[in-house]
Structure 1
């Protein structure tokens, strides 16, 4: 990566970090905003059993212990096919969960409650940021990068995996709000934090030569 691209990456990460910091301050000052409630009511307006099932499926990959097992299983697959470097970096996406947990504890924002929105599944831990969204952007986003980079993998497999991962990344913010697990600002913060983790991890992966 040349100096120009490094500067662009640095400025992008810095801009995202600033946006995340400002959003965090906003949430601390206004933990229950009319914007969050309005967006939740709008998304939950479409209340059909088939949508309930679909949104639950979208979120399933980020539930505990599913997310941990998914990361480990994916890494094992890469190791089994001699992609050692990729396997280690897939495991490294788990660092995003540690960062997310620290922020959750620090901000300590309560989850949406049944008197304000419909709650489809009971959740634990704090609300800000959305852990599902952080994980999906970091993990599935990194898989998209790998499918682009690893030309030795058959093209149909790379295409299907990339499309599936992209769909999950796009849909999970809507899923979390629809299921009553998070507010809009939670998933936006989760997307930003996940993107920061993805950019840093991708930079390290791309600049590391050869196999680990």
Structure 2
């Protein structure tokens, strides 16, 4: 278990600001504000992505999904270079009110992750800015500005990120939503699979130095998502729906598949091995999330064909 490792660097004003903020908010205030963090967490983003992809607009979902997947992988790639410790590691006056992994030791850096940059801040910018850029509606543009601000503020308030973590997280998310769609726009749609391979291979560089579980999770999700896009296009080609009942059943079914496959794939391994932090455990984690992602995005839409029987 990797306890209390990493590098400590910060500006004095960051520490002073965080201490002041937590003293003003108190534990209850910080606890309330911590709920804004949910807007940048993977489960909510996967739910939004699932609704858009399975129900609303497949191409829209792919556009957002690619950006989100790149953001999910890019963040730990950067974190594992800088190895910045979370604020509460080094400053006793700063409390952690929302740990990344509630069941793990607060100082287990393999589970809690590094601090720089903020993954929640990156995720919120990539997801909500992608929604705004694709739809180009004023309401979405406002949300794409407000939600990342709230998410970033909450990460500082709960003591898990310095302000500079949040700012750089926002900037990395902005870079993704500007660069990735631009790259795809310059490549013929039939050859997008080549871009997927290039992005995935670049992401695999983290196998040589990344130590945290979030990298291996994100790499597996990305690989499964990219393969699913091409698989669905060639072998499934499902239709979107605006029927409220079908939307609800598709989303519920998708989450059932996601959690069921994830749980089943854990069964052959002991909890001690899965939580050990060794490279082989990380590789198993990537393979597991690859299969989970492929099952939910690539295979699961086959089931949508059954809806035709209920339409008659």
- 1:122 is aligned to 99
* Counterpart in the other structure of 2:121: 133
Answering whether residue 30 of structure 2 is matched by residue 52 of structure 1, we say yes
Report the TM-score, using the length of structure 1 for normalisation: 0.68
Deviation at 1:205, TM superposition (A): 6.4
The residue matched to 1:182 in structure 2 has which SS? coil
TM-score, length-normalised on structure 2?
A: 0.48
Partner of 1:75: 53
Task: Give the C-alpha shift of residue 90 in structure 1.
Answer: 1.2
Shift of 1:170: 2.0
Displacement of 1:183 in angstroms is: 0.5
Q: Aligned-pair RMSD on alpha carbons?
A: 3.0
- Residue 131 of structure 2, aligned match among 124, 143, 159: 143
Cross-structure match for 1:186: 165
- Paired with 1:181 and 1:77, the residues of 2 have a C-alpha distance of 35
**Distance in 2 (alpha carbons) for counterparts of 1:31 and 1:170:** 23
Structure 1: stretches of 5+ with no match in the other structure: 1-27, 149-157
CA distance in 1, matches of 2:181, 2:28: 36
Residues 71-110 of structure 1 mapped to structure 2, 5 A cutoff: 71-79=49-57, 84-93=58-67, 94-110=69-85
- Segments of 5+ residues of structure 2 without an aligned counterpart are 1-6, 101-111, 193-312
Deviations 1:8-53 (A, max 9, x none): xxxxxxxxxxxxxxxxxxxx7x613312202212332431577435
Cα gap change, 1:186/1:199 in structure 2, threshold over 3 Å: closer, same or farther?
Answer: same
Runs of 4+ in 1 over 2 A off after TM superposition: 41-46, 48-54, 61-79, 158-166, 201-210
1:207 to partner: Cα distance: 6.2
Separation (CA, whole Å) in 2 of partners of 1:74 and 1:53: 30
Normalized per residue, which structure has more helix?
Answer: 2
Summarize the Cα distance change of 1:206–1:45 in structure 2 as closer, same or farther, 3 Å threshold. Answer: farther
Asked if 2 retains the 8 angstrom alpha-carbon contact of 1:43 and 1:174, the reply is no
1:66 aligns with 2:44: yes
- SS of 1:201's partner is helix
Distance 1:193-1:170 versus aligned 2 partners, 3 A rule: same
- The SS at the match of 1:109 is coil
